[in-house]
Amino acid sequence: MTPKRVLIVDDSPTIRALLRTMLAQDPRLTVVGEACDPFDAREKIKVLLPDVLTLDVEMPRMNGLEFLEKLMRLRPMPVVMISTETQKGSAAALEALSLGAVECIGKPSFDRLSDTFANLADLLVAAAGARLRGAETRARVAPATDFNWNGKIVLVGSSTGGVDALETLLSGYPRNCPPTLITQHMPEGFLASFARRLDTNMLPQVELARDGVLLAPGHVYLAPGGDYHLAVAGHEAPKCRLVASDKRNGHRPSVEVLFDSAVPLANRVVSVMLTGMGKDGAEAMVRLRRAGARCLAQDEATCVVFGMPRAAIELGAAERAVSIGSMSRAVLDLCSGNGRSAAQFSSVRRA
């Protein structure tokens, strides 16, 4: 495989050197250059033709968000943003993802370099081959108005590209949506800002999951990350559980932990696998489906990275592949008392 060409854009010489050193250890990548600000980056993109950029959010002369917006409008290419995990930095990171960045990672600190860079090489390789999002994949869906809950709960796993995918999914939810638990791979410092963003822009109440909270219609629970995985427990009165344990499949929170926790109540579950690299949750989705859950995966055409959904489809875990624009309707149909089947929607095709 020809190594993917990386351009590092950061105003800090220390960070640039650190990134170059770390990335040089992976034969799948070659750092073709460095830029100290967006103006420098613009000229080097023309000459060096990188496959993927790392881009700092906060830079002099032009901030990273302004440069990203111009880049995506004039010369779209895969970008991985690097941001501080402060409240201000988290808001900027989420804005960058909405503008078209493939992923955002926390700015490295010297006391946790191994954690920061553990998946960076894989991320850059995946980003270099990512499907850039156009207006169609970022389109929002009108909220449903005819929902009659049948008692099922929804479990969602997502990773790279998940910010847009989740916003599209939840934009189609009514105020009385089915209880929904989400594990999104994202730095802990960004998750609270993401929950606030979703809560502000969506009809249901979106919050970081808290241990012991009973699931209720009209609520969406987002895994808080940090030292905890999100799980669900209890058949008659399901509740959120925060499980302190090691990473699973390289992630904490892990989709596999969430999906596996729901196997005992599978007949009340609709599970959804959205865009993301790797295969976290795919094997657990197999177990869910065998136990009686309904299982959907995002289709390749609307995924930023067709990794986790591909794994679910290839293992036979997903009964159908659904475009992200049709996912909310398909999910709500399976959670509705109106008796219709997701197969009745022309936009839902067999995997």
Q: What is the pLDDT of residue 145?
A: 79
Contact 168, 144 (CB under 8 A): no
Mean pLDDT, to the nearest integer, of 306-332? 97
Highest mean pLDDT: which range of 22-26, 135-139, 146-150, 298-302? 298-302
Same-domain check for residues 158 and 232: yes
**Tokens, residue 341:** 């089947």
Mean pLDDT of 216-242: 96
Q: Give residue 237's pLDDT.
A: 93
The pLDDT of residue 218 = 97
Of 111, 128, 145, the residue at which a domain comes to its end is 128
Residue 51: CATH number of its domain: 3.40.50.2300
Yes or no: say if 63 and 56 are a contact pair by the CB < 8 Å rule.
no
State the DSSP string of 111-123.
TSHHHHHTTHHHH
Percent of the chain with pLDDT over 70: 89
Residues 115 and 199 reside in one and the same domain: no
The verdict on 15 and 119 lying in the same domain is yes
Work out whether the CA dihedral 305, 308, 311, 317 comes out positive or negative.
negative
Q: What count of other Cβ atoms lies within 10 Å of the Cβ of residue 40?
A: 16
| Residue 147 covered by a domain | no
Please give the pLDDT value at position 121.
87
| pLDDT score of 208 more than 60 | yes
pTM: 0.89
Which among 91, 75, 126 has a CA at the least distance from the CA of 304? Answer: 126
Q: Compute the average pLDDT of residues 97-112.
A: 79
User: Do 207 and 96 reside in the same domain of the chain?
Assistant: no
Per-residue pLDDT at 116: 61
Give the model's confidence band at 350: pLDDT under 50 very low, under 70 low, under 90 confident, else very high: very low
Instruction: Supply the CATH number for residue 299's domain.
Output: 3.40.50.180
Same-domain check for residues 233 and 91: no
Residues 265 and 169 in one domain: yes
Same domain, 293 and 187: yes
Last residue of a domain, one of 128, 162, 190: 128
* Closest to 25 in 3D by CA, of 115, 131, 117: 117
Residue with token string 């959670």: 335
Closest Cα partner for 330 from 270, 288, 268?
270
Task: Determine the pLDDT at residue 93.
Answer: 85
Q: State pLDDT tens for residues 164-187.
A: 999 999 999 999 999 999 999 998
- Measure the CA dihedral 137/303/54/124, to 10°: -170
Q: Which amino acid is at 274?
A: L
Is residue 6 pLDDT above 80, yes or no? yes
Overall average pLDDT of the 196-207 stretch: 96
Q: Does 46 have pLDDT greater than 70?
A: yes
| Domain match, 106 and 198 both | no
What average pLDDT does the chain have? 89
Same domain for 173 and 259? yes
Of 18-22, 89-93, 130-134, 192-196, the poorest mean pLDDT is in: 130-134
Tell whether the model's pLDDT for residue 351 goes beyond 50. no
Average pLDDT for residues 29-48, to the nearest whole number?
96
- Taking only the tens place, the pLDDT of each residue in 146-164 is 799 999 999 999 999 999 9
Domain contains 141: no
Domain that holds residue 13: 4-128
Output the pLDDT for position 124.
93
Instruction: Determine the distance from the C-alpha atom of residue 37 to the mean position of all C-alpha atoms in its chain, rounded to a whole number.
Output: 28
pLDDT value of residue 133: 64
Number of structural domains, the chain?
2
Q: What does the pLDDT look like over 47-103, one tens digit per residue?
A: 999 999 999 988 888 989 999 999 999 999 999 998 776 556 688 888 898 888 999
Looking at 128, 161, 194, the residue that finishes a domain is 128
Residue 40, token pair as written in the block: 């420098």
pLDDT confidence bin for 221, thresholds 50/70/90: very high
Query: For the segment 240-279, what is each residue's pLDDT rounded down to a tens digit?
Result: 999 999 999 999 999 999 999 999 999 999 999 999 999 9
Which residues are known catalytic residues? Answer: 159, 185, 280
Read off the tokens for 251: 């992630």
Give domain status of residue 342, yes or no. Answer: yes
187 and 79, same structural domain?
no
Say which amino acid occupies 243.
V
DSSP three-state, residue 276: strand
Q: Residue 162, SS3?
A: helix
The pLDDT of 207-212, averaged and rounded, is 98
| pLDDT for 339 beyond 50 | no
d(CA 334, CA 3): 44
The answer to whether residue 304 is domain-embedded is yes
Distance CA 259, CA 192 (A): 22
- What percent of the chain has a predicted confidence (pLDDT) above 90? 72
Q: Are residues 205 and 293 in the same domain?
A: yes
User: Is there a domain that residue 136 lies in?
Assistant: no
Rounded CA-CA distance 33/54 in Å is 11
Which residue type occupies 68? L
Write the DSSP assignment of 202-231 as a string of letters. Answer: SSSEEEE--TTPBP-TTEEEE---TTEEEE
- 200 belongs to a structural domain: yes
Tell me the β-bridge partners of 219: 205
Tell me which of 88 and 284 has the higher pLDDT: 284
In a domain, 133, yes or no: no
Sign of CA dihedral 165, 229, 115, 59: positive
Residue with tokens 């009209």: 218
Residue 148 lies in a domain: no
* 33 and 124 co-located in one domain: yes
Q: What does the pLDDT read at residue 108?
A: 66
pLDDT of 341 > 50? The answer is: no
> Smallest Cα–Cα separation from 274: which of 168, 157, 182, 187?
157
- Say which residue, 103 or 340, is predicted with more confidence: 103
- Judge contact between 5 and 51, C-beta under 8 A: yes
Q: Which of 244, 222, 200 is nearest to 155 (CA)?
A: 222
